[in-house]
Amino acid sequence: MLTVSIEFKIRQIARFLKCSVPLFIGSLLLYVFTYEVRSTTNYKNDSILMENVTVDLNSSILSFHSMSNDPEVEDCYSLKSLIMPEEIIDLNAVNPSHKPIHPSQVTKVVTFNQVHSILYGDPSTKLIYNYTRKYFQKDLDLSYPHTFLQRDLFFGVIRKLHQSLKVQFVVEVGSFTGNSAIRMGSILKQSYPGSFLLCIDTWLGDLNMWINKVVWNHLSVSEDGRPTVYYQFLENILNANLTDTVLPASMTSLTGARFLRTFRFHPQIIYLDSSHEQGETLIELALYWNLLEAGGILFGDDWIWAAVRCDVKKFSHIHRLQIEVVKNTWILKKPF
């Protein structure tokens, strides 16, 4: 544990000074120190690093307890867990070909029309939903079973926002056929006029969808091998009468985060249901947490997935956050 603490401090100092020299010297010293310590330390049995999670059914707030023999926890809290996402990717980077918006140009309220105009053009003359049925004819289909977000839960998330925040801009990362987008979009349209939901997804599926043939059918892969589920999403949103509230952005989660960073768009709520791969989820958490407005809520699906649960636990450990779990949904609130 002592070795880990030293390494962590060295990385912090190196990042602060923005200089490679301290990191080099520190790493050299760490190597020598580690050689002496490893002979007497069993990292797998280091109960300070290993933590188990229990849930209080009354409060649904996770509490952490020392645990040294839980294989999943050992995997989550290995030495590698101290590698910060910002050491892998610059959380604040923007495309060098597009200068970031100057703070004086930032609008306080982000609107559907504003984002649509940036991505696709003026919605009054070129609304993307007008072309939904031009390329593929789809019928309404909400049969995808793996959507756990319910209306009551989303209302509950909204109530958790800091009292100074008003719901205006919500982002969903990972939308697929649009089941959860329809539930959130309907609430926004009915109860929060002027607000909207931006859905970031490639609509190409994740690994599980490509190797699990039962789920693969929902990708609607065409004969030439291209998923057409994006058009299913558009059709479902069209049928739900949410074409002025739900806006798709067909891009990777990383590109979506860069887009929001470039235009200084900061959501009050972010729903993360994208990657389910360990490590990739951690990077997404870091990117979108960095974009979330202070006092806002970052929440997501699939707590039962080990990879998701592991990365959420790592992230909360790094930032000293409490995780609230409601059924299969995890919730994090950003300090105001």
Domain assignment present for residue 92? The answer is no
Q: Is 90 within a domain? A: no
The reported pLDDT for the residue numbered 103 is: 66
Q: Name the nearest CA neighbour of 243 among 120, 123, 109, 141.
A: 123
Per-residue pLDDT, 222: 66
CA distance 263 to 260: 5
DSSP assignment, residue 200? Answer: E
Q: Is 33 helix (H, G, I), strand (E, B) or coil?
A: helix
**Domain check: are 70 and 35 in the same one?**
no
Asked if the structure places residue 1 within a domain, the reply is: yes
pLDDT of residue 11: 53
Q: Does some domain include residue 87?
A: no
Q: Domain span at residue 63?
A: 45-82
Any domain includes 212: yes
Question: Measured between alpha carbons, how far is 285 from 243 in angstroms, rounded to an integer?
Answer: 28
Domain count, the chain: 3
97 belongs to a structural domain: no
DSSP letters of 190-251? HHSTT-EEEEEE-SS--HHHHH-HHHHGGG-B-TTS-B-HHHHHHHHHHHTT-TTTEEEEES
Identify the CA nearest to 209 among candidates 143, 268, 276, 154: 276
User: What is the CATH classification number for the domain harbouring 128?
Assistant: 3.40.50.150
Q: pLDDT tens digits, the chain, 336 residues: what are they?
A: 444 444 444 455 444 444 444 444 444 443 333 333 333 323 232 222 223 333 333 334 443 332 233 445 545 655 455 567 777 777 777 666 666 666 666 677 999 999 999 999 999 999 999 998 888 888 777 777 677 788 999 999 999 999 999 999 999 999 988 999 999 999 999 999 999 999 999 988 777 776 776 665 666 666 666 788 899 999 999 999 999 999 999 999 999 999 999 999 999 999 999 988 888 999 999 999 999 999 999 999 999 999 999 999 999 998 999 999 999 999 999 999
Residues 65 and 35 in one domain: no
Identify whether the C-beta of residue 243 lies closer than 8 Å to the C-beta of residue 127: yes
One domain for residues 200 and 304: yes
Q: Strand, helix or coil at 163?
A: coil
- The pLDDT value given to residue 169: 98
Predicted confidence at residue 36, as pLDDT, reads 37
Residue at 134 is within a domain: yes
Report the predicted TM-score, pTM, of the whole model to 2 decimal places: 0.74
CB atoms within 10 A of CB 63: 13
At residue 69, the pLDDT reads 39
- 191: in domain: yes
Asked if 143 and 208 sit in the same domain, the reply is yes
Run of H or E including 169? strand 169-173
In a 3-state reduction of DSSP, which class is residue 332?
strand
